[in-house]
Amino acid sequence: MALINCPECGREISDQAKNCVHCGYPIFLINGKIVNPDYVLTAKGKSHDLTYIVEIIQSAVYMDEPKRRYLERKVYETGDISIYAARKIVDGIIKTGKVPKDVDPELGKLSKYVKPAVLRCPKCGSTAVTTGNRGFSVVSGFIGSGKTVNRCGICGFAWKPR
């Protein structure tokens, strides 16, 4: 057990405390670092620090689509949520400036009620998938150019069909 300084009042408190005993400020420690509770995402019993994402959004003058996709991917890479939930979380941060607490981390994941015949991108889960020929390659030329590949229309990921 160690003593840390409260980020609100600056007085020393235990690192095991849930709230500051002096001012009542909620204390979240993630990897030994004090985190603002508004920037914490809790999914499947684990807490994730999204301070980096919130700071990027707050400092952005203009949020273009590539930057938004990058932030969604970073939130998704926490490993405990679906890409659809990551999109909702980024939308919530843009609107309110803090991580929404009411987003279901399982949002949009395949369930037993979804027909497995729907072709989805293995990287982002999108259904905007096209099938076509691999095409010409600088390295191999036309060798293998007639082979079929699936391509995601959202993230551009290509893979061999099974």
pLDDT tens-digit readout, 72-128: 888 888 777 888 888 888 888 888 888 888 777 776 654 444 445 678 888 888 889
Q: Are strands 46-49 and 40-43 parallel, antiparallel or unpaired?
A: antiparallel
What distance in Å separates the CA atoms of residue 37 and residue 100, rounded to the nearest whole number? 11
CA distances from 130 to 35, 122, 161 (A): 43, 13, 11
C-beta separation of 69 from 91 below 8 A: no
d(CA 82, CA 52): 19
Q: 3-state class of 42 per DSSP?
A: strand
Cβ density class 78-100: b for 16+ within 10 Å, e for less: bebbbbbbbbbbbebbeeeeebe
Domain extents for the chain?
Answer: 1-35, 38-108, 110-162
Model confidence pLDDT, tens digit, residues 19-57: 888 888 877 776 667 777 778 887 777 778 888 888 888
Query: What pLDDT sits at residue 93?
Result: 87
